Amino acid sequence: MLIAVPLTDREFSQRIREVAEKGADIVELRVDQFQNTEVGFVEDCVRKAKEEGLKVILTVRSPEEGGREVANRRDIFDKVAPLCDFADIELSSREMIIPVRNAVAKNGGKLIVSFHNFELTPPNWILREVLREGHRYGGIPKLAVKANSYEDVSRLLCVGAQEKYEKILIAMGDIGRVSRIAGYAFGSVITYASLGESLAPGQLPLEDVVKLRELFYK
């Protein structure tokens, strides 16, 4: 199980060192939350993360799925994704999936095709089809859906476990917090933890996730 920590550009140099020191594997650059979205600045953030020994996920989340409008979004993906280990693009941004996949693959990086529902966990057939569509694009499908019951959590994890390829399974919200550790047992390859303020509902603190990974998956 790889642990990723989403960061904005606030106090980036200090926080990236803290992420590495506390045991994370990956930093997710949430460029949609950056104050400075110039390509050169984002490239510098990637370099700083790499210098700390961290892998990098490049994310410029669309407003429709919890992000913010970034005028140069396409340019960031085209120029920065080749420097990264992963690039995350929403399934709903279909016109950008292939270009982002091609950009991140230039140096061996992987595509993450994400789907978010902040209100509920859709029916099983929708979960299954979203996973399969992301996989058909040649990416790692990522399902992040709101859990309103423990049944929602179990449905997400069990549907995900039936799909035998890399995927990321997240049940958001307080009820879904267990998925951020248990997901690995169901085939989820990356979990997301917080450093201070959480950027998604239900994220656990990085220190706790590192300890729980050691406890359960050593």
Known binding-site positions:
28-30, 61, 180, 203
Cα R_g (the chain), whole angstroms: 16
The CB-based long-range contact list for 94-101 (8 Å cut-off, 24+ gap) reads 97/137, 97/139, 98/137, 99/74, 101/137, 101/138, 101/139
Beta-carbon contacts of 112 under 8 Å, excluding residues fewer than 6 positions away, are 57, 86, 87, 88, 89, 139, 140, 141, 142, 168
| Residue among 50, 55, 106, 116 flagged as catalytic | 116
Q: Distance from first CA to last CA of the chain, Å, rounded?
A: 10
- Spatial strand order of the sheet with 26-30 comes to 168-172, 140-146, 110-117, 86-90, 55-59, 26-30, 2-7, 190-194, 204-205
Place of tokens 């992987």: 110
Rounded distance, CA 132 to CA 32, Å?
Answer: 26
Closest to 5 in 3D by CA, of 55, 39, 80, 53: 55
Q: Is 106 a catalytic residue?
A: no
Residue 135 known to be catalytic: no
Q: Is 207 helix (H, G, I), strand (E, B) or coil?
A: helix
Binding residues for 3-dehydroquinate: 28-30, 61, 180, 203
Choosing from 55, 110, 142, 146, which is the catalytic residue? Answer: 142
Catalytic residues: 116, 142
